Structure 1
Amino acid sequence: MIVEVVGGAEERPEVRVVDVDDLTGLHLALGAVTDEEADQVLRDAGLGRMADAETGVLDVAALRAAAEPQAGAADWAQQWDGMLRYAGNEGWLADDGATVQVHVESAAGA
Structure 2
Amino acid sequence: MIVEIVGGADEVPEVRVVDVDDLGALHLALGEVTDGEADGLLRDAGLGRLEDATTGFLDVAALRAAAQPSATGADWSQRFDGMVEHARGKGWLSGDGTALQVHVESAAGA
TM-score normalised by length of structure 2: 0.92
- The letter of the residue matching 1:76 is W
Aligned to 1:90: 90
Q: CA deviation at 1:10?
A: 4.7
| SS of residue matched to 1:72 | coil
Aligned to 1:42: 42
Aligned to 1:19: 19
**Equivalent residues of 2:47, 2:58 under 8 A apart:** yes
Distance 2:54 2:38 in 1: 12
Write the mapping of 1:94-109 to structure 2, written as runs, cut at 5 A: 94-107=94-107
Distance 2:31 2:11 in 1: 11
Superposed structure 1 runs of 4+ greater than 4 Å apart: none
| SS of residue matched to 1:94 | coil
- Structure 2's unaligned 5+ residue stretches are none
| SS of residue matched to 2:23 | coil
TM-score normalised by length of structure 1: 0.92
Question: Cα 1:9–1:64, aligned 2, differ >3 Å: closer, same or farther?
Answer: farther
- Structure 1's unaligned 5+ residue stretches are none
Distance 2:41 2:68 in 1: 20
Q: CA RMSD in A?
A: 1.5
Q: Percent identity?
A: 71
Q: Deviations over 1:27-78 (max 9, x none)?
A: 0000011000100100000000100000001111000000001100111011
